[in-house]
Amino acid sequence: MSSEPIERRVSYLGDRLRASRCQSCGKEYFEVRDYCSNCGRKSYGKMDSIDLFYDKGKLELCTYINEPTNKFTKLSSFIYGIISFHDGKIRVPGRLTDQLITAGGDVDFSSLEGREVVPRFRRRYSVGANDLIPTISLAFTLADEYYPHQEYNIITPTKEYDIPGVVGYGVYTSRFRIKEGGMERSVPFIDEDSATAAVEAGKLALIHSGVDNKLVGKVYVGSESNPYAVKPTAAKVAQVLKLGEEDGDVQGVDAVDTEFACKAATSMFKDASSLVSYPRSGIKYAMVIGADNSQAAPRGCIGGELDMFVGYGGAAFIFGKQDVIAEVEGWYSCTSDTPDFWRRDGEPFPMHGGRFTGDPAYFKHVRKSTCKLMEKFSLKPSDVNYFVAHQPNPQFPVRIAKELGFKEEQYLPSLQINKFGNTYSGCSPVGLASILDIAKPEERILIASYGSGAGSDAYLLRTTSQILDKRKRQKVNVKFQAENPFIEYVDYPTYRRLKTGM
Amino acid sequence: MQSRPAIVGVGRTKFGEHYGKEPEKIIEEAWLAASNECGVERKDLEACYMSDCFLPITNKLGLEEGFLSELTELHVPMEVTRSFSAALLTACHAIQAGVYNKVLVGGIEKMTDRWDKIRDDLMLLEDPWSYYAGGTPEANHELMLRAYIKKYNITGENLDKLNIALAQVAVKNHANATKNKYAQFQRKITVTQVLNARKEARKSLGLYDYAPISDGASALILTSDAVAKKLSDKPVYVLGCTSATDYLNYSAREELSRFVAVDLAMKNASAMAKTALPDVRVVEVCDQSTMMELVSLEDLGFYQPGTAWKSIYESYQNNQNCYEVNGRQLFVNTDGGLKANGNPLGATGGAQIFEIYRQLKGEAGERQVKVDNASPKHGCVLELEGFGTKAYVSILGEKKD
């Protein structure tokens, strides 16, 4: 049994690594303090709130833990130590995550001391099936490895656009991959889930856009692997990323989870665009995140075919009308009650309609939305520079692209299924991000998502000159993660173990 | 210290696993032993102070005073603290204040009843943020060792000597425990065994570096000076008894290679006892790990910071069961320490006092140490709560004024 108020307080401090600094003597404290213990009464009310969420720390001391306490047994063994921030002004305990330490051999942990580390938002430890899922950012990865440290600098916008669009985005996938056949798929570390990916993606989108987190008025999180049946992931994202005006421990932001199989996020692109355009909304920016620890039954079980294709990760897009990098020119969405893929409440793994997931489902809807949108804008396939389709497997997006008359140079750059697998709600958004990573100004991008059950959203985007300015702010782009030298490949049993989580 | 409180009788149980016994049975055994020793009847007791660190968690007991009342059939004031030294300190204050003249101080813990969850509990109580970050009860000891090695730049041959010195702490404590019928472990171990256990665990400290978890109880009768003189021809006085406190979270502390609280508590206790350090020749330290024994000897002031391992290493080379400080012998953890005697948290401090009491009275049998061919005159007990979050120092000895 976990205590809900304790959980709330620990998460509130630990997810963001909230800290305090005395205005008079400069002493810093992990946790929120009302007064400084050096300066006493006179410092009351004169403590600055700081946090370590975007900081980088240094691993000062460490040791190796191979007999963890009960709640950490699923991590089996890990490096644990003391991390200092701000030249040792503040020290916190922490564990290194994203490390699979194999049995046997010597562990030379002392060489890790002095290395720079980045806080990562993760699950804290294992709990019972009915308990709240504890999270924390006292998990760290080495800054010179897969996930580098990046500063978050708020940038004052310089240009207002007539129509809304993407102002920044971020893609997050884990460090681990399973490689089978010609395909690599991202595998979460054991302390990751769709919520942690959503937060990481949102963090990267804020870094890329330079948007002030206080000005994000709404966040949508689309997923079909929400760790909870009831409890919004979006609330976690809003609190950890401090979206909207902060008032005490409440954020002035609207946050909502959406679900429509793999199009839960893309469906909201138009809502986000519309919201920031509505003159009386008062909302400057809206964030849409699609993230999934894509579920699949193990091979050999019913529904186990999905296990060949599922990945892990998420993408976050911030929509607004200032400093836009890709304007949303228009969209077309379609829906029908086609039951090609489903997961009953309480069931861990989804089922699918076999060959009926193709023609009457994926192809019919993607074709429909794309054709209608092109019709609406009187476009020929050659009028767009890039075509992005949902990628449930390596074959479907290629077949539909060809059928619609797109050429390889238009659809191949967005194909990320072979690098990360099908990240469900994050899938076509990751494809779109990979195009935004490379597109030149004034290029047109057509994206068509697909969500089982069934529907498709097609969007027409046009890039602006600002896409180039912002590109250098994001080191952790899609290619960086796909071709990272610190990727670690795991075997099938490890993949299933990590995916099942803590 | 005006009106020095005196210990007139001590009692304890064997430490280890008491699978078939209720916690009440164990504390009863300890307190009856103490009362037998000095002939104090239960109806003579004016108050009881009892310690247990987490009996409410391990044994689902919320009001320990209740069973103490049942055992003694008394309805006098009874209070519960987390450690034996805390109970003793509170009792001393009451006696000094003249409120009571005869009180019972007891301690009990029954850790094996919650064997499967004990490390989570211990860690969560000791340092929650470290627990949330994945820390284990052992991890902070290993980090302190790392901090120590780095701060004093101990490398190469010296590092090997430090590692052997730490092993020697466990070897010496196990050897001492073989002469203690109450000790949890009654067998000798070798330096090679300690080193091999570390190698096996691929860690800087291994199985033989840590105190076990234990069940057990301890008790003593504390009286005013006047009462003590009637009950005993040679009472042992509590000359100094004090405590100091530090942060809960180890990583947030100013100093990582020592316990500031121990240093403070010792200084205050020495001043209170008007006893110079060289006069203290028997010491019980809180060796939750071998590292703790080493660092405590420095924190208590017996050695300069960063040097205790040299003397311990010498004791290994000379095959001695005591250390040398400025040419004087210092006997540490003669009962086997927490390492081999056992560590039932709430009762541990009582066993430490028990040992010093026996040594000062010359009743320690095979373990008896001699200073100038006589029983030592002063002894010191260091007890810790948490990982150095609280430090209690008690100096016992003959009354001087």
Closest residue by Cα to residue A218 from A251, A255, A252, A250 = A255
Q: pLDDT tens-digit profile of B6-27?
A: 999 999 999 999 999 999 999 9
- Residue ranges of chain A with per-residue pLDDT less than 50: none
Chain B residues interacting with chain A (CB cutoff of 8 angstroms): 116-117, 119-120, 123, 127-136, 138-139, 142-143, 146-147, 150, 201-204, 249-252, 256
Distance, in Å, from the CA atom of A16 to the CA atom of A111, rounded to the nearest integer, reads 28
Distance, in Å, from the CA atom of A260 to the CA atom of A342, rounded to the nearest integer, reads 10
- Considering only CB atoms, A61 lies closest to which of B129, B131, B147, namely B147
Question: Domain containing B59: what range?
Answer: 6-115+213-223
Q: CA of A238, closest CA in chain B: separation in Å?
A: 22
pLDDT of residue B3: 75
Q: What chain B residue is nearest to A77 in terms of C-alpha separation?
A: B134
Does B1 score more than 60 pLDDT?
no
Q: pLDDT tens-digit profile of A66-81?
A: 999 999 999 999 999 9
Q: pLDDT tens-digit profile of B252-299?
A: 999 999 999 999 999 999 999 999 998 999 999 999 999 999 999 999
Count the alpha carbons within 13 Å of B101 in the hemisphere toward its beta carbon: 9
Report field, pTM of the whole predicted structure over 0.80: yes
- Considering only CB atoms, B135 lies closest to which of A29, A80, A106, namely A80
Q: B41 in a domain, yes or no?
A: yes
Q: Do residues B345 and B81 make contact, with C-beta atoms less than 8 angstroms apart?
A: no
Catalytic positions of A: 224, 262, 390
Do the chains contact at B132 and A14, CB–CB below 8 Å?
A: yes
Give all strands (DSSP E) within B138-266, no chain letters: 215-223, 236-245
> In this structure, are strands B78-81 and B47-51 parallel, antiparallel, or unpaired?
parallel
Q: B108 in a domain, yes or no?
A: yes
- Please state the φ and ψ torsions of residue A249, each to the nearest 5 degrees: -110, 25
Does B399 score more than 90 pLDDT?
no
Tell which of B143, B151, B256 to mutate to test the A interface (max A CBs under 10 Å).
Answer: B143
Q: CA of B311, closest CA in chain A: separation in Å?
A: 26
Do the chains contact at B143 and A81, CB–CB below 8 Å?
A: yes
Q: What is the ipTM of this complex?
A: 0.95
pLDDT of residue B147: 97
Do the chains contact at A70 and B119, CB–CB below 8 Å?
A: yes
**CB interface of A with B, residues 48-107, below 8 Å:** 61-72, 75, 78, 80-83, 90-95, 106-107
Q: Which residues contact A3 (CB under 8 A, 6 or more apart)?
A: none
- Considering only CB atoms, A91 lies closest to which of B135, B203, B252, namely B252
The three-state secondary structure class of B310 is helix
pLDDT of residue A284: 97
pLDDT of residue B2: 59
Q: pLDDT tens-digit profile of A147-185?
A: 999 999 999 999 999 999 999 999 999 999 999 988 999
Q: Do residues B242 and B393 make contact, with C-beta atoms less than 8 angstroms apart?
A: yes
Per DSSP, helices labelled H in B254-363 are: 260-273, 290-299, 308-317, 337-341, 345-361
Q: Tell me, what CATH number does B86's domain have?
A: 3.40.47.10
Cis peptide before B347 (omega within 30 of 0): no
Q: CA of B291, closest CA in chain A: separation in Å?
A: 14
Q: CA of A391, closest CA in chain B: separation in Å?
A: 37
Average pLDDT, chain B: 95
Q: pLDDT tens-digit profile of B123-178?
A: 999 999 999 999 999 999 999 999 999 999 999 999 999 999 999 999 999 999 99
Tell which of B127, B129, B250 to mutate to test the A interface (max A CBs under 10 Å).
Answer: B129
Q: Which residues in chain B have their CB less than 8 angstroms from residue A38's CB?
A: none
Q: A110 — contact with chain B (CB < 8 Å)?
A: yes
**What value does the mean pLDDT take over residues B193-205?**
94
pLDDT of residue B61: 87
Report the CATH number of the A162-500 domain. Answer: 3.40.47.10
Do the chains contact at A70 and B131, CB–CB below 8 Å?
A: no
**What value does the mean pLDDT take over residues B395-399?**
92
Q: Do residues B381 and B92 make contact, with C-beta atoms less than 8 angstroms apart?
A: no
Q: B93 in a domain, yes or no?
A: yes
Q: What chain A residue is nearest to B121 in terms of C-alpha separation?
A: A69
pLDDT of residue A350: 96
Amino acid at the residue A456: S
Per DSSP, helices labelled H in B118-155 are: 118-126, 128-132, 139-151
Q: How many domains does chain B have?
A: 1
Chain A with chain B: Cβ pairs closer than 8 A: 96
Domain boundaries, chain A: 4-17+52-142, 162-500
